[in-house]
Amino acid sequence: MKRKYTLLIYTENHIGLLNRISIIFNRRKVNIESLTTSPSKSKGIHTFVIVVNTSIDKIDKIHKQIEKQVEVLKAFVYDDTMILAQEVALYKVSTKTIAKNNKIEELVRNSNSRILNIEPEYIVIEKTGNSDETQALLEQLEPYYVHEFIRSGRVIVTKPMKKLSTHLLDLEKKDAHKKEFIDF
């Protein structure tokens, strides 16, 4: 049975890693629905947040393959109950249709959005929320002629409280143990 899963991957920032990670999904015939990368709180460590819709078996295999990558420090798989997630969406709407109907201000207010920019030809509206919320606003704005729409990838924080620094210490201990064993 397919479900939505979010992978949170902590990596070193190396050229080609994104390509190797995407190949892992490609080989398993799993489409990436959303991808966000950014520096993390820890210096020199970057995060990948990847959202997919697949089975538990496939996500487990993908997770194991990703963790085998040299530059990957740690990877986690979460379902939607284990994370808090948001996206940012921008809507570029024609001012001509808005001028004819003043409901746009009410729509913006009721959807907890904000007007980001006003130009003679268009306004830009910003909405933060989950994908269902940003999609719902798009559908509500359709009668006002949406010139452009773009949604960011998912950004998340996890509900489990084990910190990345704890995982990094665990990795260091494993490496130290391996060295002791090899030196022996």
Task: Write down the mean pLDDT value for the chain.
Answer: 88
Answer for the pair 12, 25: CB distance below 8 angstroms, yes or no. no
Task: Round to whole Å and give the CA distance between 45 and 31.
Answer: 25
What pLDDT score was predicted for residue 42? 85
Task: Round to whole Å and give the CA distance between 83 and 80.
Answer: 6
pLDDT-based confidence at residue 38 (cuts at 50, 70, 90): very high
pLDDT-based confidence at residue 177 (cuts at 50, 70, 90): very low
Output the six-digit token pair for 75: 């990877």
Locate the domains of the chain by residue range.
3-78, 84-151
What pLDDT score was predicted for residue 180? 45
What pLDDT score was predicted for residue 12? 93
Q: Distances in Å between the alpha carbon of 133 and those of 49, 71, 113?
A: 20, 35, 10
Question: Which has the higher per-residue pLDDT, 145 or 59?
Answer: 59
**CATH class given for the domain over 84-151:** alpha beta
pLDDT-based confidence at residue 61 (cuts at 50, 70, 90): very high
Domain 3-78: assigned CATH number: 3.30.70.260
Confirm whether pTM is higher than 0.85: no
3-78 and 84-151 agree in CATH topology: yes
Task: Round to whole Å and give the CA distance between 12 and 72.
Answer: 6
Output the six-digit token pair for 58: 């496939």
Average pLDDT over residues 115-132: 94
